Amino acid sequence: MPPSAHILIYVIMGTTALQVLLFIIKKRLAPKQPVAAHIQQQLDLTRRALDAAPVAMGMVDLHGRLTFANQALITLWGYGQAGDMQDKALVDFFLDPVEVIAGMQALKKNRAWQAEIAATHHDGSRFQIEVHAHPLPGHDGKPLGFTAHFTDPTERRKVEQKLRKLAYYDSLTDLPNRIMLQDRMNLALGHAARLGESVILFTLDLDNFKQINESLGHAKGDAILRQLATRLGKTIGQGDTLVRWGGDEFVLLLTGYQDEAAIAREARRILDSVSEHPFELDGSEVFTSASMGIALFPRDGEEQETLLKHAETALYEAKKHGGNVYQFFSEPLQQKIVALHQMDVNLRRALRQEEFFLAYQPQMDLRTGRPVGIEALVRWMHPQLGLISPAQFIPLAEESGLIRPLGKWILRTACREAMSWWNAGRPSLRLAVNFSTQQFRQTDMLAEIESVLQETGFPAHLLELEITESAFLENMADAIEVLVDLKTRGIQIAIDDFGTGYSSLSYLKNFPIDRIKIAQTFVRDIPADPEDMAIVDAIIAMATRLGLELVAEGVEMPEQMQFLRECGCHIMQGFHFAKPMPAAQMADFLCRSWPMQSTDGAQASLHCP
């Protein structure tokens, strides 16, 4: 240890320590240098070093008097100079002398003393101070005095508060986050369990928030979330909890409700607070709604994780009903979700193990009696469950994103099997393939179609993509561009299930569409339903005036066929003509139904092996 360090320590110890200090200095100083001058120089340097230190430091003797205070300590207490504080009793600087005396007793027993206590400034004002004191033992182990440093906890508390806010609160909305929710749920569930009460968990999610973000930008999306947090906060009681779970999802933890009808009324009131008033965005207004899932403790679960999972399950179901609705969790709902999950697992396996196959249904032209097109329809043969309806697995495939690899497989397989018919001498007919909304919005859609056509050799002008109205009405400008690109390649476009989704028909004039397909929904009840008959008649008249071809789906009875023909629709498909059939049967059907001219002018059938 250098001489200056010894000086720093023993200055704090007091007069007795200085005698020892003089002995050390005599040993270490050069013989020609005056001892007194050197000591004074080192003392001055030590004093300056202590005064320059940013930490408030002091020394107390065994009688509890302050014998040393550096400049930081003098400033902290609001005194002018060291002399104003020196030799005063330590208890005079604090409001609780009992605690200070107890601390001095601990120091005399060679124990450290640490406390946060109230103190008084020189002007009499009060403040909190942290004390960290330690004894300075002599050679015999007994304390010669005590050192202490003092800290104002204000800044530390600000930092701690900031860290706590970052850990437990959402930075965008200032609401509690999911970590805080765990603590609140622990308290609420424990309290409810002791009193035999219920706890209600609402999970709330904005409807179509992704579209809001994409159309207005994330900054305005964040502004909506902040306004929503304020709006929801006004709907809950003082003892309830509102949490931003993440993204546009919020969780509400409510107590005091026992009756399910009252819970339903509260859910509707909260949803109405979202949908009935617009969100203000820089002078413009945006209306949106929310969906809600509800789980009850202890009925729907007794643990946090279970309740949250069940509320999420109910929310998932609510969103499927179009938004602005709430859904209670129930066991049948859980069974349905489990079944859907198992279906998803099976669907992924089926893609890997090639359990899908295509069936084909002809589109018949009543004017010639010949097929003019063939629609490819996917089927799933499950190894244990047997044939599964597309109505069961197609929506799930669309929701999970599996429709993209499945759709590509359908397109490739249909083109390859159709090419095998054409190469075998069957007539080259239009091949219709359903194209999902997700496939239509893929950025690499055109490249993928071209790749399949090149791979299979299928001619582009014989390919027809059947697309529902929802696929391109969301962004009509981009949709027109994509459709024009398809048309320049010779690919034909048909609107599938026409009239079931949107009432606006302006796109029929603006989009490069070849034909529309009258939905089976309208054909099914002909001739029993006059309204469906009127709708079909209007669709046919409109399409005819616009120069669009028509195909009627789901024709199963002669009366339906006759009505459609009288209205001006001549191309139809349905069980009345042929059920969907595997590829091999479709090839035979084409042979039987397609007459050809022989060399002598007589009609003959195609040669069918």
Say which CATH number the domain at 527 has. 3.20.20.450
* CATH label of the domain that carries residue 34: 3.30.450.20
Q: Which residues of the chain are under the pLDDT cut of 50?
A: 1-30, 503, 596-606
Place of tokens 């005399």: 108
Residue 356's pLDDT is: 93
Alpha carbons 578 and 556: distance in angstroms, whole number? 9
Q: What are phi and psi of 376, to 5 degrees?
A: -90, 130
Final residue belonging to a domain, choices 304, 329, 354: 329
Residue 51's pLDDT is: 72
Q: What are phi and psi of 581, to 5 degrees?
A: -135, 155
Please list, residue by residue across 251-283, b when 16 or more beta carbons sit within 10 angstroms of its beta carbon and e when fewer do.
Answer: bbbbbebeeeeebeebbeebbeebeeeebebee
306 found inside a domain: yes
148 & 246 share domain: no
Residue 16's pLDDT is: 40
Please give the mean pLDDT across all residues of the chain.
84
324 & 458 share domain: no
320 & 355 share domain: no
3-state DSSP call for residue 188? helix
3-state DSSP call for residue 572? strand
193 & 299 share domain: yes
Is the distance from CB of 295 to CB of 302 less than 8 angstroms? no
- The vertex-361 CA angle with 360 and 366, nearest 5°, equals 150
CB atoms inside a 10 Å sphere around CB 19: 9
Is the distance from CB of 28 to CB of 63 less than 8 angstroms? no
Is the distance from CB of 102 to CB of 109 less than 8 angstroms? no
218 & 300 share domain: yes
Residue 608's pLDDT is: 56
Closest CA to 60 of 87, 79, 83, 78: 87
What is the gyration radius of the CA atoms in the chain, in angstroms? 42
Alpha carbons 66 and 13: distance in angstroms, whole number? 12
Residues paired with residue 204 on neighbouring β-strands, in sequence order: 250, 292
Question: What total of structural domains would you count in the chain?
Answer: 3
3-state DSSP call for residue 490? coil
Which domain does 140 fall in, by range?
3-156
62 & 89 share domain: yes
Q: Which two tokens stand for residue 406?
A: 């499945």
Alpha carbons 426 and 589: distance in angstroms, whole number? 10
The CA dihedral of 193, 194, 200, 203, to the nearest 10 degrees, is -60
Alpha carbons 268 and 401: distance in angstroms, whole number? 32
Residue 605's pLDDT is: 45
598 found inside a domain: no
Q: What are phi and psi of 196, to 5 degrees?
A: 70, 35
- pLDDT digit string (tens) for 79-95? 877 777 888 888 888 88
Residue 473's pLDDT is: 65
| Residues 383, 385, 390, 395, CA torsion sign | negative
Final residue belonging to a domain, choices 308, 329, 350: 329
DSSP states of 363-412 as a string? EEETTTTEEEEEEEEEEEEETTTEEE-HHHHHHHHHHHTTHHHHHHHHHH
Q: Cis peptide before 390, with omega less than 30 degrees from 0?
A: no
218 found inside a domain: yes
How deeply is 447 buried, as exposed, middle or buried, from its count of CB atoms within 10 A (0-12, 13-18, 19+)? exposed
Alpha carbons 368 and 166: distance in angstroms, whole number? 74
607 found inside a domain: no
238 & 373 share domain: no
Is the distance from CB of 509 to CB of 480 less than 8 angstroms? no
| DSSP character at residue 530 | H
98 & 146 share domain: yes
Percentage of residues in the chain having pLDDT higher than 90: 38
596 found inside a domain: no
Contacts by 179-182 with C-beta closer than 8 Å and gap 24+?
180/243, 181/241, 181/243, 181/245, 181/251, 181/253, 182/304
Place of tokens 């005599």: 26
Residue 35's pLDDT is: 61
597 found inside a domain: no
73 found inside a domain: yes
Residues paired with residue 57 on neighbouring β-strands, in sequence order: 149
Model pTM score: 0.57
309 & 375 share domain: no
Closest CA to 298 of 176, 178, 204, 195: 195
361 & 275 share domain: no
190 & 41 share domain: no
Q: How far apart are the first and last CA of the chain?
A: 107
Residue 23's pLDDT is: 47
Alpha carbons 376 and 106: distance in angstroms, whole number? 90
Final residue belonging to a domain, choices 126, 156, 186: 156
Alpha carbons 234 and 272: distance in angstroms, whole number? 13
599 found inside a domain: no
3-state DSSP call for residue 25? helix
* CATH label of the domain that carries residue 231: 3.30.70.270
76 & 126 share domain: yes
Closest CA to 301 of 281, 331, 271, 273: 331
